[in-house]
Structure 1
Amino acid sequence: MKRGEKNSTIVRKKGKLIPVLLIVTAAVALLSVIVVFISMWIKRNSGNSYKELWAARNYSAVYEKSTNDIEKNPLDNSVLIYRGYAAFYIAVSENNPELALSYIDESIRCLRVALFEAKEKTVPQIKYMLGKAYFHKNIICSYHFYADLVVKYLQEALDAGYQADDIPELLGLSYGQLGMPYESIKSFSDALLVHESPFLLFNIAKEYYAQGQISAAKQYLFQVTSNAGDDILLIKSQNLLAKIYIDEEKYDDAKALYEQVLEKDDNCAETHYGLGVIYEKNGDLIKARSEWRKSLNIDSTYEDALKKVYR
């Protein structure tokens, strides 16, 4: 090959190599930009994952995030569970009853839908949360139409091996609302093994009283009245104990308890009604009717007092 031809071949090769290098360089640069962008996006959004938001107990953020995600896929099981749990905790902390009820209803809806496709290992926890949601709905609504569902889901969670310290207490209260005192006492007794409190002791006493086991009821009430640090619970216990004394015709003991209650709270309809009953038993109908009217002035719907005044 002649010298001129050789130089011409080298020039042509260099001419082809330069565009290739430019393309490779551009591709590498573009890839680098993409990698940096993805890294920045992951870093920026990693703190907004359900797991991290939940760990931070940012239930409002979890609920807001689920609102967007649920529109894309209404049956996303993971999103439904997070949304149901978040709605429950928002409802518990909400002071507006109507708003709280809307959140608790959304919690129940999400968790019931989630049950259809939930993994076997998460089903017991979902049922536990459903039981708690129905229990809270009873509180918000001030009636006990859902006590049977509280028992259903909490018992199924227990049967599946799920453990939570508040289950026995919630079951005890719900069984009591259903008029099942034996089951209620058993559940409250289980709760006492976890932690003893005047609240539990009072509820056990109340269930024993409902069964007619007066001696057992009094034993628990004595414990509450000697240890209760909460005035509201103490007043409830003293009123029930005074009622027992009236049943036993120990009117002086009952009156002494009622007077102790009125020293703490003169606006207790149950106490004024009870005093009226004592006066009635002692033949003083004028004072009796006066106490019953005081009871109705405090609570115009107090049924027992209404029957006494308007009989």
Structure 2
Amino acid sequence: MINVQDLELRAGARLLMDQVNFRVDKGDKIGLVGRNGAGKTTLTRVLAGEGLPAGGKVTRSGQIGYLPQDPRTPDMEQLARDRILSARGLDAVVGKLKKAQAEMSSEDAAVQRKAMNRYDRLEAEFLAGGGYAAEAEAAAISSNLALPERILNQPLKTLSGGQRRRVELARILYSSAETLLLDEPTNHLDADSISWLRDFLKNHQGGLIVISHDVELLEATVNKVYHLDANRAQIDYYNMGWKRYLQQRETDERARRRERANAEKKAQVLLDQANKMRA
């Protein structure tokens, strides 16, 4: 699904990570953590194909659904509902169906006949793409993300930034993408929507990488944790759930502090010996 080999990432001249290797397979649900500026967002952009690494390579198979922190939509005139349906290519078919339906009421018999024939072909195409059940699924996802009918029927340009972000999240969840890359997906969600999202991600059958400050989301959904260590420009891999990760991380940090203290003591001893020899 996603295979990362010898990856090197930089922010300008600053090294974020080097010689990073991992895979995201079906069933891998990974919490990506680390301090601000460690490179979490940069990494997800590169994994999604929206950024280039400084070195190494990323190979992908299957559909990837990527939610950045600041999603951009190409057509701000598009209705929110159509933006969500576009994840499965149904927006264009629905638009053509509506146009054919309007022309079917034409007083011109020739226009009416052509519209009826076109409607039959379009409806077959619509049903092949999931049809009314797929539309209902999109509506259910939207409702659970606090996107009611009145918002779905508005152009994207009339929505707030938070509403547009919820539309993008709904679009990605509706897409049936095998791998989800979600950067702070709970931003702009209310408590009910967050609770629903936790259950959705828990039941997701494909791969998942999520960046989130929502501890309950991480605890409920992830079975692996990747910690970006900004000091070492490395990723520490934990093949365990969130609670066990917290315990193991604390143990690892204590061990590293001891190692650093011992290294500093040895360095000081050598420095003292060198000073004595010079004296």
TM-score by length of 1: 0.24
Q: Considering only CA atoms, is the larger Rg found in Structure 1 or Structure 2?
A: 1
Give the number of the structure whose residues are more often strand, by fraction: 2
**Greater relative contact order (Cα 8 A, min sep 6): structure 1 or 2?**
2
TM-score by length of 2: 0.26
